């Protein structure tokens, strides 16, 4: 069993499709063991995406991630990190496989509906960033 951090991004909350995305997550076999709707501050978004600080899209990305509510989640399942990356699809929805969250729901490369941790080490840190132990109920 492994855990990963998921964020349903502001484009998903704005279009009221978080339930549709959750249905896809659950149908894939992953279990949502923690979930809350929050509004990120600019400082939180900058800290969360600090690895991308030098990238040209960093400021735009932080602005987008604070443009509306997000739903942060802990997902659990076999090989959850890699499995959720597959369920989400490629970063750019134009390159995402049929049936993936991003292919089905993303608006653009930036507004791509979902975030998923890219390694189990990052997953652990990202989960701690948003959740305390008592908020996670496996």
Enumerate binding residues for ligand GDP (CB under 6 A): 57, 60-61, 91, 109-110, 112, 115, 118
Q: Which of 87, 115, 126, 131 is catalytic?
A: 115
Contact present, 12 and 18 (Cβ < 8 Å): yes
Contact present, 9 and 111 (Cβ < 8 Å): yes
Q: How far is the CB of 90 from ligand GDP (least distance, A)?
A: 7
Torsion from C-alpha of 78, 65, 72, 99, nearest 10 degrees = -40
Q: Which residue has the tokens 């009221």?
A: 16
73 three-state secondary structure: strand
Q: 3-class secondary structure for 33-70? A: EEEEEECCCHHHHHHHCHHHCCCCCHHHHHHHHCCCCE
Shorter beta-carbon distance to ligand GDP: residue 43 or 59: 59
Find the helix or strand (DSSP H, E) in which 104 lies: helix 101-105
Shorter beta-carbon distance to ligand GDP: residue 35 or 91: 91
Shorter beta-carbon distance to ligand GDP: residue 57 or 129: 57
Catalytic residue status for 52? no
Q: How far is the CB of 102 from ligand GDP (least distance, A)?
A: 8
Q: How far is the CB of 79 from ligand GDP (least distance, A)?
A: 17
Q: How far is the CB of 109 from ligand GDP (least distance, A)?
A: 5
Shorter beta-carbon distance to ligand GDP: residue 53 or 135: 53
List residues with catalytic annotation.
Answer: 115
């Amino acid at each position: 069993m492994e855990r990963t951090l998921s964020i349903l991004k502001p484009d998903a909350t704005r279009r009221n499709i978080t339930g549709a995305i959750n249905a896809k997550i659950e149908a894939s076999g992953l279990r949502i063991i923690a979930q809350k709707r929050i509004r990120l501050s600019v400082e939180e978004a900058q800290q969360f995406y600090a690895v991308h600080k030098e990238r040209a899209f960093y400021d735009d990305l932080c602005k987008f991630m604070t443009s509306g509510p997000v739903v942060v989640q802990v997902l659990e399942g076999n090989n959850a990190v890699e499995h959720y990356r597959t369920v989400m699809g490629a970063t750019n929805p134009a390159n995402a496989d049929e049936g993936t969250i991003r292919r089905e729901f993303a608006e653009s490369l930036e507004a791509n509906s979902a975030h998923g941790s890219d390694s189990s080490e990052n997953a652990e840190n990202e989960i701690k960033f948003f959740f305390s132990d008592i908020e996670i109920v496996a």
